[in-house]
Structure 1
């Protein structure tokens, strides 16, 4: 293996491309992003559990208001977050690329946290209509989450560590989901009632914003904490060391929209993300209602059972991350093979579990929980597949690519709960839920099939369009001079 050496601009220290510190500021950024995703998903998922208590006609806690909303109204409320989330997907990627991931992410999480704090009051003042408006605005704010995360990872994650750092960041949603679902039942039955679910999730978001403001950074060059050794290690690994002091290369590059839309590997990821989103958000928004209505579990038992699949998701995401890194380090698998293998594990095993879920009866609650745990838990392998594959295609436009795939995926997230509301008119009828699980399985199958056949981990030629354009101009000038 050839090791490149570069000289630190500040200390003159010779640093090898493979000689970065094992633990450094890049890991701190990943941990901060982990908690940023965590608190954001606490705010995103709080309604999925809280609405069970808000609509509980058996008085989970009689000291707090309850609402006689229909199943269709509930589906609209659970879907409404994604209406705002959808609108800003493409602009959010451009904002992150233009202003940097730090400030965009900070604003998104801060405003989302404030809206979470206001949610209980919106229900009391304006019933489901005003609550729906608040959720739309909250989705609008959180639309920057993945685009900012990918933009930041594109600047902080050396290629050899993308799988580890990306998995660490994207384990945050599962951790946040586990936290809010685990404590939600206790909060709903406590003296603070179901509104405390929103207060806790919103408050955690505000606290995280202060930590991010102090320690977060758009890139190694803009961090006040990083050593010159680690900075040069990251920049050399990314091949993005600039002659200028501010290294603002990505801000000067015009987004190659036509080339992106003509890229077959990009379309494979986009379609795969759509199918993943359909399955993930069907499970995320409907598991508490499914467990309560089909298996007649009270709010506290419901919360713990609803959280269990996401505990498995979090644990398995770390396991799959370590396994993928080991296989890549030992050169057992190539990057391309690794992405496809783990995406297949993360979709086709949940596909089988979803089919099995649709085949069991209402008198098998233990088996249902096991299958839900497998379906959601093993789904975490997908983080090492199509999701991180976007950074492989183009580190410079990772945020923009993420905004585009997330836009398409969010359309599925909007539609999926509404489809549940149309099909499941009687929430206690397991036969109606059966169709929901079969649809999830169908989406998982075709989405991964396309990714395996058409996906690629090769760096795309349009990643640096300005450089290629300049090179072509120089070649033309040289040819004219020779002529």
Structure 2
């Protein structure tokens, strides 16, 4: 480690670097837009992009331990179907008598246990989000993420054995897996608060979260990932200097301004948008395989394949939106706030439209339903350019804490959504499932309106640390403005 460079970074000394974009006089932009990488700063093979590729794979394992039970439960638990004449669509498409589901189901669990197992992950997940964000921001997200992922993988390995002992042990495992998984997203956001320069922020983070052997992978995590550019032994000097100048976030957070955070309109815009997004996302994550079994009548093999198709759409949404968002911002077509609102509105309203369409599909048009869900999930991926990275826009130094807060509150939907879904679909009919999708669409519309009104796009005052580059630039800007105003006043006095 270059101790001299580290001392300079920990003090508030400037490190000369980077090209600064020229802007017309009087044009108001965010301070973060000023810093651009010079020609000598590496990109595709740089340490920040290697971390981006690696974190994408990491998120695949994160989602694997989260959603595995949603698909497995289709063939684990027996389901009694009512082929009554009172149900409109069941006479058109009957579940085959010798289906895989009928013969392979091993357990007879009550409906309330099934609902709780589907949502159990989020009981524990909700409890550990905020502590995980605080610990990650204070001590670094690398260890927090790696240890959490390893523990989640170990608990997942115990499922096949303990599930045969008791269904309630399965519930306990899901709660435990959720608890150790809670710090994963806040710690990832905390690391990105130090690694993602604003000019590439949306692109890097969108690719990371597009990802969606766990124990073995977590071991390699400790070798590849570092909490900040200052700690990375293989980073080039040019890239390190660029990130130091561009990211404008410190390695540690001394005091979290809790009151300012919870009274910030921009923060509440993210909280509401995150909750509405998660309601739709977790509904699909937890009960989509059941919908495909009960309404579309897919067998187990087809169900597993078709349930994954919407997430390919979500992957495409995330990966495509990053370059688009950065292009809109870097070309100054839109301010950060307007760009976040624009993309989030498209995301929510597009998702709502396709979910409403899905709600009217019968089993005779099963592939149409899959196609509509594909596009609904793709539009959900556009949130990668909206609220999902807005934490880093408004408070890069507290990104882990902020994501911990919003993820904690929004994770409530993780167990409320499947409970409501099971309550609305006691017989698994198409008309009953229609209400599940309409509720999701309603959350999307509300989230779009709320975020459009209250979202922010610049660093909040309470997130600017004294002595930081942002603080110095802000004071310099105020001084220049004050000097300019004084000059104007003096000219007016002379004219009088």
TM-score, reference length from structure 1: 0.83
Counterpart CA distance in 2 for 1:93 and 1:9 is: 24
Structure 2: which 5+ residue stretches go unaligned? Answer: 8-14, 19-34, 80-97, 473-496
Query: Partner residue of 1:55?
Result: 77
Q: Can you list the C-alpha shifts for 1:191-236, whole angstroms capped at 9, x where unaligned? A: xxxxxxxxxxxxx211211211111100001111111111010010
Deviation of 1:392 (Å): 0.3
CA spacing shift, 1:156–1:107, aligned 2, 3 Å:
same
Q: Can you list the C-alpha shifts for 1:61-117, whole angstroms capped at 9, x where unaligned? A: 999871112333211100000000011111111111122100000110000000110
Off by >6 Å, runs of 4+ in structure 1: 7-10, 61-65
Q: For 1:397, what is the secondary structure of its paired residue?
A: helix
The equivalent position to 2:47 in structure 1, one of 17, 25, 50, is 25
Query: Partner residue of 1:103?
Result: 143
Query: Partner residue of 1:452?
Result: 452
Query: Partner residue of 1:137?
Result: 176
Query: Partner residue of 2:282?
Result: 281
Deviation of 1:59 (Å): 7.4
CA spacing shift, 1:128–1:262, aligned 2, 3 Å:
same
Residues 1:113 and 2:134 aligned together: no
Query: Partner residue of 2:225?
Result: 216
Query: Partner residue of 1:36?
Result: 58
The equivalent position to 1:85 in structure 2, one of 125, 137, 159, is 125
Deviation of 1:14 (Å): 6.4
Q: For 1:88, what is the secondary structure of its paired residue?
A: helix
Q: For 1:426, what is the secondary structure of its paired residue?
A: coil
Q: In 2, are the aligned partners of 1:89 and 1:144 still within 8 Å (CA)? A: yes
Counterpart CA distance in 1 for 2:6 and 2:107 is: 63
Counterpart CA distance in 2 for 1:383 and 1:142 is: 20
Q: In 2, are the aligned partners of 1:37 and 1:145 still within 8 Å (CA)? A: no
Counterpart CA distance in 1 for 2:443 and 2:201 is: 27
CA spacing shift, 1:430–1:235, aligned 2, 3 Å:
same
Computed over aligned residues only, the root mean square deviation of the Cα atoms, in angstroms, reads: 2.4
Q: Can you list the C-alpha shifts for 1:239-266, whole angstroms capped at 9, x where unaligned? A: 35xxxxxxxx442520001111110010
CA spacing shift, 1:356–1:68, aligned 2, 3 Å:
same
Query: Partner residue of 2:335?
Result: 334
Q: For 1:360, what is the secondary structure of its paired residue?
A: coil
Residues 1:259 and 2:281 aligned together: no
Q: For 2:411, what is the secondary structure of its paired residue?
A: helix
Q: In 1, are the aligned partners of 2:116 and 2:415 still within 8 Å (CA)? A: no
Deviation of 1:295 (Å): 1.5
Deviation of 1:467 (Å): 4.6
Q: In 1, are the aligned partners of 2:101 and 2:300 still within 8 Å (CA)? A: no
Matches within 5 A, 1:8-23: 15-16=17-18, 17-18=35-36, 19=38, 20-23=41-44
Structure 1: which 5+ residue stretches go unaligned? Answer: 1-6, 174-203, 241-248, 472-483
Query: Partner residue of 2:434?
Result: 434
Deviation of 1:419 (Å): 0.6
Q: Can you list the C-alpha shifts for 1:431-478, whole angstroms capped at 9, x where unaligned? A: 11011011001100011111011101111011135559x99xxxxxxx
Query: Partner residue of 1:227?
Result: 236
Q: For 2:52, what is the secondary structure of its paired residue?
A: helix
Counterpart CA distance in 2 for 1:64 and 1:116 is: 21
Q: In 1, are the aligned partners of 2:253 and 2:398 still within 8 Å (CA)? A: no
Matches within 5 A, 1:74-473: 74-125=114-165, 127-173=166-212, 204-240=213-249, 249-427=250-428, 429-467=429-467
Instruction: Name whichever of 52-61 and 292-301 sits farther off.
Output: 52-61
Counterpart CA distance in 1 for 2:283 and 2:180 is: 21
Q: In 1, are the aligned partners of 2:138 and 2:253 still within 8 Å (CA)? A: no
Q: In 1, are the aligned partners of 2:266 and 2:454 still within 8 Å (CA)? A: yes
Counterpart CA distance in 2 for 1:291 and 1:252 is: 46
Counterpart CA distance in 2 for 1:465 and 1:8 is: 20
CA spacing shift, 1:252–1:286, aligned 2, 3 Å:
closer
How many residue pairs end up in the alignment? 424
Counterpart CA distance in 1 for 2:280 and 2:192 is: 25
